[in-house]
Amino acid sequence: MKNLTGKLAVSAFLSASILLTHSSYAKTDNQQSIASPAIASNQVAGFYRQALGDFQITALYDGDAKLPLEQYFQGQSTEKMSALLKGYYIDPSKAIQTSVNAFLINTGKELILVDSGAAKCFGEGLGSIEKNLNAAGYHVEQVDKILLTHLHPDHVCGISPIAGQKAFPNATVYVDQTEADFWLNPTNLSKFPKEKQANFKSVFDQTAKIIQPYQASKQFKTFKVGDQIAEGINIVPTHGHTIGHSSFLVNSKNQKMLILGDVVHSHALQFEQPEISFTADFDAKQAIQTRLALFKTFAKNGDFIAAAHLPFPGVGHIRETSPNHYQWIPVQYNPQVLPVDQVNKTVK
């Protein structure tokens, strides 16, 4: 009898608790219904800071491009490339999501932007460099120099998104002399295979219009390998993707980062198989040789690399898994900007 009484008491207590809990959250006649919060579409602002010696490098997110596998990548069978993508949980039947990044170098004396994003040259999915530059605490008027890895629209359109106007009014724009000579001369269109000429004609047209306002104000300069364009920054020729494609080796207190432009377009494909080429490469064989040489060097020395089309923020290291096969190791995200010597590097 005592056990039955005890069970009834516990049951009554639980029932009362449930009723009380329900009544605590039940709306009264005087309360208004509150809508459920909307699903957020953004993670965080599209910038990421990385310390490098006395410098600070800020990755800036411009947006994502969508690249169908068979249209943009070649050099291996579709089946093999699909298997590589699946290894990274990327659906090969859908267009590959590819970041477009730029990088702002704060040397303490200058603000130097490497590449400028696509603006609206490729539609509405891109064009966030200025917004994310502002979110990082900077303004376009503060940028002193812009170093362009090459003159494809997704790297150069951001300097002049409105025809005839400079987006960076106080910046001097620098690009390799061979690169400038090539793209600013429309007769060079004939150097592309006939099947590619229709697509690249627009690049010649866009480049001339985008560069023009900087030429008019004498804020456009070309460089050659060996020129000193900024303190702590050296030019590294990385030809192949374009005829005068350049990368920039940033060095502060012997901590180094190579900002390498379009040497690589897919972390899932081209690290494991550097021989996979990108269909927009001007000289695919040279682009592959450049990629293999850089991957080998930076897998050995462990220095940072940063790239326009690696998953944002596009900063990390390269690890060699076997001869001529590599793996991309992105930086470990940290909400604080830590000196490089306080960040654990990947164990080789």
Structural domain contains residue 5: no
Structural domain contains residue 21: no
Which of the 8 DSSP states describes residue 191? G
Which pLDDT tens digit goes with each residue over 60-97? 999 999 999 999 999 999 999 999 999 999 999 999 99
Structural domain contains residue 324: yes
Query: In whole angstroms, what is the distance from residue 117 CA to residue 111 CA?
Result: 17
Structural domain contains residue 62: yes
Structural domain contains residue 282: yes
pLDDT of residue 4: 42
Query: In whole angstroms, what is the distance from residue 42 CA to residue 96 CA?
Result: 20
Q: How far from 222 is each of 28, 127, 312, CA to CA, in Å?
A: 72, 25, 29
> Is the Cβ–Cβ distance between 346 and 317 less than 8 Å?
yes
Structural domain contains residue 158: yes
Average pLDDT over residues 233-249: 98
Which of the 8 DSSP states describes residue 34? -
pTM for this predicted structure:
0.87
Phi, psi of 70 (to 5 degrees): -70, -20
Tokens of 102: 């730029």
**Residue scoring higher pLDDT (40 or 154):** 154
Structural domain contains residue 14: no
Which pLDDT tens digit goes with each residue over 125-149? 899 999 999 999 999 999 999 999 9
Q: What count of Cα atoms within 13 Å lies in the side-chain half-sphere of residue 282?
A: 23
Structural domain contains residue 257: yes
Average pLDDT over residues 96-102: 96
The enclosing domain of 165 has a CATH number of 3.60.15.10
Which of the 8 DSSP states describes residue 347? P
* β strands within 281-333, DSSP E: 304-306, 315-322, 325-330
Query: In whole angstroms, what is the distance from residue 306 CA to residue 298 CA?
Result: 11
Query: In whole angstroms, what is the distance from residue 132 CA to residue 128 CA?
Result: 6
Query: In whole angstroms, what is the distance from residue 204 CA to residue 200 CA?
Result: 7
Task: Write out the residue range of the structural domain in which residue 332 sits.
Answer: 47-342
Question: For the chain, what is the domain count?
Answer: 1
> Is the Cβ–Cβ distance between 276 and 75 less than 8 Å?
yes
> Is the Cβ–Cβ distance between 329 and 317 less than 8 Å?
yes
Q: Which residues pair with 330 in a beta bridge?
A: 316
pLDDT of residue 24: 44
> Is the Cβ–Cβ distance between 152 and 170 less than 8 Å?
no
